[in-house]
Amino acid sequence: MDADRVADAETSPSILFEVFALGQQVRQLLVEAMRDSPLNPQDYAFLSAVFEDEAPTPTQLARRLGMPLSTTVEQVQMFEQRGYLRRFPNPRDGRSYLVALTAGGGRAHRAAAVEFDRVYAAVVRGLGRSEPAVARALRQLRGAVRQAQIAQTQVSDLRR
């Protein structure tokens, strides 16, 4: 596929379409690159959020990953069963808990990071000096989508 054509704004019906298409491309790239990894791209992303946030609550994870809380809790349970995560009481809130990588989860995460980092470096090279601006724009887009989600939830609640 011609890179100029993909970059041409006139070929895109909307920003959301571009995000959808980009998500498909990123998913395919990572699935191929991480094929021999102990974690698939989705699992790597989840464990990366736990690793980066250093013992987050499920609510914090859900917010960071853009996932429903119920899905996040199911993922935590699945990773606990696989021996990759452990949970422990939240010292600030007795009703909540924190999650952290186990030694096995850390090993799997480090092994998967090798291939992820290789692909990530190639993408950053392709962006060149525009990488910080692209990262800022993506964070801005996430915020705008979150605001649209909140507004949509309010509209849906009014319809009920």
More confident residue, 147 or 157: 147
Lookup result for tokens 């914090």 = 60
- Distance CA(141)–CA(45), nearest Å, equals 19
For 133-151, the pLDDT digits (tens) are 999 999 999 999 989 988 9
1 pLDDT more than 50: no
Please name the residue ranges forming H helices in 54-130: 58-65, 69-81, 103-127
Structural element, H or E, at residue 21:
helix 15-33
For 108-138, the pLDDT digits (tens) are 999 999 999 999 999 999 999 999 999 999 9
Task: Summarize the confidence of residues 90-100 as an average pLDDT.
Answer: 92
For 41-77, the pLDDT digits (tens) are 999 999 999 999 999 999 999 999 999 999 999 999 9
Which residues 6+ apart lie within 8 Å of 52 measured at CB?
Answer: none
Domains of the chain as residue ranges with CATH: 3-159 (1.10.10.10)
Task: State residue 154's pLDDT score.
Answer: 84
3 pLDDT more than 70: no
For 6-40, the pLDDT digits (tens) are 555 567 789 999 999 999 999 999 999 999 999 99
- Distance CA(109)–CA(25), nearest Å, equals 22
